[in-house]
């Protein structure tokens, strides 16, 4: 989706959004989960299980229902109630676990081993199949840009599977001789949980990042509040080998960014995705005139209750011009 008004405001040569909000359950996770569910079926699984803050849960519940599989969802204590309701509507079994993300993973893995369930979390170190789904974003961008990819691709980063997957998709395109140079990749995190930013700033090796989970994730961007880089083996080289960068964003800046995006371009994204806007502002300051694409990973309809609480209630008026004049102030 081209965003010419924002591009002009930011001083970018061109800005487009890869609109992942229009996937069947409203986030890019459908790409990954559809591959994972297909694989689970070929293995003959009858139950799939995932760890999730919300979007993977909704995708898994939906795609499992379509495939006739049972879904067991291990949700974080901070999981969004709206996303949990979305997942529950598909008939999945949901449990919330009061522990840091890496410990929720341990419980999910133990349950899968005990009952023979197929583990489908979108973390390449546990489930290498579904992270393949993110590569299709790179393939589609190649087609949609008619081979002339932008200079930068910007995406939110939690565990890293999304940006790492886009990078691997770009490598496929290069291997096929379809592109010569890769775009530079910009990962965006919340300041309250930024293990990728820390690892890139300090040059930390992937295995060392696993030994030091982010101690206390604190952000309203729940989809990227991962305390470790579950896909650090792809997202770290994605940044390091493309001349990329990592931006960390405060919660109030991401909320302001969501409103700016919605009001300027008519695109309403979820809280987690909102991190891309302040990142675009920072990237544009240092790279005036650049051609940029940012991935809008999840729909604002996922957080509609947040917006309902945060924005003023609409006035209720009598059906008269006088009453209307009163609220319009004319």
Does residue 157 bind ligand PLP (CB under 6 A)? yes
160 binds ligand PLP (CB under 6 A): yes
> Does residue number 272 form part of the binding site for ligand PLP (CB under 6 A)?
yes
Q: In this complex, which beta carbon is closest to ligand PLP, that of residue 16 or of residue 52?
A: 52
From 16, 25, 27, 60, residue interacting with ligand PLP (rule: CB under 6 A)? 27
Piece in contact with ligand PLP (CB under 6 A), picked from 3-11, 103-111, 207-215, 268-276: 268-276
From 101, 133, 150, 159, residue interacting with ligand PLP (rule: CB under 6 A): 159
- Residue of the chain from 36, 158, 195, 217 that contacts ligand PLP (CB under 6 A): 158
Should residue 162 be labelled a site residue for ligand PLP when binding is judged by CB under 6 A? yes
Instruction: Tell me how many degrees the CA angle 111-117-120 measures, rounded to the nearest 5.
Output: 95
Comparison of 150 and 298: residue with beta carbon closer to ligand PLP = 298
Residues 219-248, mask of contacts with ligand PLP (x by CB under 6 A)? ----xx-x----------------------
User: Residue 241 is encoded by which pair of tokens?
Assistant: 């080998």
36 binds ligand PLP per the rule CB under 6 A: no
- How far is it, in rounded angstroms, from Cα 67 to Cα 127? 19
Residues that bind ligand PLP (CB under 6 A): 27, 55, 122, 156-162, 223-224, 226, 270, 272-273, 297-298
């Amino acid at each position: 989706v081209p965003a010419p008004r924002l591009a002009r405001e930011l001083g970018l040569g061109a800005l487009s959004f890869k609109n992942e909000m229009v996937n069947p359950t409203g986030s890019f996770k459908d790409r990954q989960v559809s591959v994972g569910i297909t694989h689970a079926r070929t293995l003959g699984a009858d139950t799939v299980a995932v760890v999730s803050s919300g979007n993977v849960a909704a995708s898994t519940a939906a795609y499992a229902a379509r495939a006739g599989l049972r879904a067991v969802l291990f949700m974080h204590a901070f999981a969004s109630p709206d996303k949990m309701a979305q997942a529950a509507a598909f008939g999945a079994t949901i449990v919330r676990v009061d522990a840091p993300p890496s410990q929720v993973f341990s419980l999910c893995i133990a349950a899968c081993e005990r009952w023979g369930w197929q583990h489908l979390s979108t973390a390449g170190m546990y489930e290498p199949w579904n992270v393949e789904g993110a590569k299709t974003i790179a393939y589609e961008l190649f087609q949609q840009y008619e081979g002339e990819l932008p200079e930068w691709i910007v995406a939110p980063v939690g565990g890293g599977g999304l940006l790492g997957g886009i990078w691997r998709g770009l490598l496929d395109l290069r291997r096929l001789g379809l592109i010569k140079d890769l775009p530079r990749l910009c990962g965006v995190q919340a300041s309250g949980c930024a293990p990728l930013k820390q690892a890139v700033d300090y040059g930390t090796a992937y295995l060392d990042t696993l030994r030091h989970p982010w101690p206390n994730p604190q952000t309203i961007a729940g989809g990227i509040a991962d305390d470790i880089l579950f896909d650090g083996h792809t997202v770290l080289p994605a940044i390091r080998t493309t001349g990329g960068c990592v931006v960390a964003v405060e919660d109030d800046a991401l909320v302001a960014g969501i409103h700016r995006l919605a009001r300027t371009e008519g695109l309403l994204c979820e809280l987690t995705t909102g991190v891309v806007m302040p990142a675009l502002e920072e990237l544009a300051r240092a790279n005036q005139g650049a051609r940029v694409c940012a991935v809008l990973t999840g729909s604002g309809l996922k957080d509609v209750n947040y917006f309902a609480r945060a924005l003023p209630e609409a006035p209720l008026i009598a059906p008269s011009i006088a009453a209307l004049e009163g609220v319009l102030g004319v």
